[in-house]
Chains A and B, each alone.
Chain A
């Protein structure tokens, strides 16, 4: 038996060794193509004839028209939501990217940036697209954001919500589905990520729909000149975060509705490598110019979730691109200071010191540095750091508390 197993193992090894080097077939050829944006990509599943047409709206008396009307009311609520980010420059940027990707569907898709932590974006059947700040803070460049937005546009064009809805209606749980659908799209005034996670499950389009959206998304972003490698890259980052979380109580919301990340990653890798295209832009500098001045508050939202293991991965990824960014190094320090694993104190000190020496660190860097130094018994250095904090932020809300700490007997 043991011998048989060893033989099988050896055979398996040999087969693996014999496998040809992975040279994926060309699945999409964009070299020199000037075709219109979406029409050429009828990926053979026969969905194209039922695609949403640009500028079209379903007739009111149809079931689809009814769903759109309800979603329009939800959109009204969204416009007055406390989580809506109204920053005109940011909104212009995101909608601009939507238009660059969606082409003739540009004015059919309305993007809403929501101030909510965690990686997520969603598409309602009437073209309302939510982009969470937790997604913006996780993308390393424009190409990665284009990958996710392109995917969502894929859902819109193929009318996946409608298919899903009709499917549910044919079963018996139509009413439940409908109510949950409305609730899911309605945004409460609190950053209640857990609630979103639960209700988000109605957007589980199913594996085939996700594959379709993946392929359309990849085609759209590659067509717009972005590097297709960004598609597997962004998903890989999020999977790494998920796997690092020791509690795993909160899976990335997106994965509640987008199945089997591992298998999907492999498929996306093949698709990306099989895409022949001449332009392979990342748009990293343009992306950073918009996001960098805004991201500290978004990172604070992430920190408030206290999912330290995930945030450690996220920050390590961002720091690779910007080792001298004071805000990122400060946040790294906060993760280690608050997590408190063995060795975290030293890591926190390193990060705060690096932040203090970097460009534009937040004033709180010095406050946190003081707290860690105090913990390690370096009271004089701690007090000096606290004094730096109060000098840089004279109106700090916790000024009296910090002054009390400075004055405390050792």
Chain B
């Protein structure tokens, strides 16, 4: 019990200290360095120039939200399914999944998006640009999540499986009620990292002409002659990522209830 409290307190104070340091750092630069901040503001934080143009980001925002949601969903689903399948040690499936992981971990996101959108029509699969982006990101990040879920499943003690079997639980029930809930504790932190990466990689969609946030920001950048739209778009990305971070820390807290007593 002591240990948990101490750890919790430690974590809390490091967060505070690091934020304070960061703020002091900015204050130093803003007020005590010789940089010409008026020029900086004009270039990067010139929100006056953006006035009346914010509406342009409304539909890209929801588009990015949609691509993010489905990509995260399918990437997680692929990872979960493949990791569970690998757990049963079917030789051929094992080999197929391993080669999938090796292959898709090494393809650059942009290449895959281009391939899916421009090459798949040759084999008779015509996907709208948004869907081809969702498919690319799901496949790409599914390779990462497969490995994450697999290490989570492997982290569960063998005795847990024996105990579950000895109660007459079949392997599917053992997976569902014993292994996966315990694996989640290990899976959530790296999974969060990957899902955030998915959200940010959605910007690659511009190569197939999807009107997403970064592409729109760059266009506007040319029109108004300021980098401010990129800064503004970063804030929007932050808003999209925030719920993922909050959800993840909630889930982690929940597993801390039983993993550290």
Please say whether chains A and B are actual partners in one complex: no
Which residues from chain A sit less than 8 Å from chain B, CB to CB?
none
